[in-house]
Amino acid sequence: MGYLLYAVSFLFLMAGTLLYATRSRWFHLLPPNITEPFYSRIPTSFMSDVESGFTSNDFDLSGNVMDGDSRAGLDVRGKREVQRIMKNRGIGFDEARRVYMEQNFKKNNIGEDGLPRDPKFVSFS
């Protein structure tokens, strides 16, 4: 009986170690409602956004912090998505923001030129 308990605990430990070591390959496949608690501690003010790395030379939040902006900070859903893109693809903040915006444009049927792809769209220049 002792050998069975030892074997089961050893297999459980090995499986856990294997899952942990390969988490970068399968973690993004889990549905968002399961992974939500892992990303729930995202900052909620501009100061926290700056400290968490959601700023760059092209997207500077220091003006908001210096002016004492009392708003809640950046959009929580957008920050989660940008953070997920940064972690999954291993890219920086600016590149992740660009990818996030391209995904939103594609989802909303907007072309790369910023114009809607709707065939009924009429533009006067």
Domain ranges of the chain: 31-107
Three-state DSSP state, 14: helix
Question: Cα separation of 6 and 17, whole Å?
Answer: 16
For residues 80-93, give the mean pLDDT.
Answer: 87
Q: What are phi and psi of 95, to 5 degrees?
A: -65, -40
Q: What is the C-alpha separation between 39 and 48, in angstroms, rounded?
A: 15
Residue 5 has, within 13 A of its CA and on its CB side, a CA count of 2
For residue 116, give both structure tokens.
């809607």
pLDDT at 70: 64
Average pLDDT over residues 16-35: 83
Query: How many residues make up the chain in this entry?
Result: 125
Q: Is a pLDDT exceeding 70 seen at residue 45? A: no
What does DSSP assign to residue 115? S
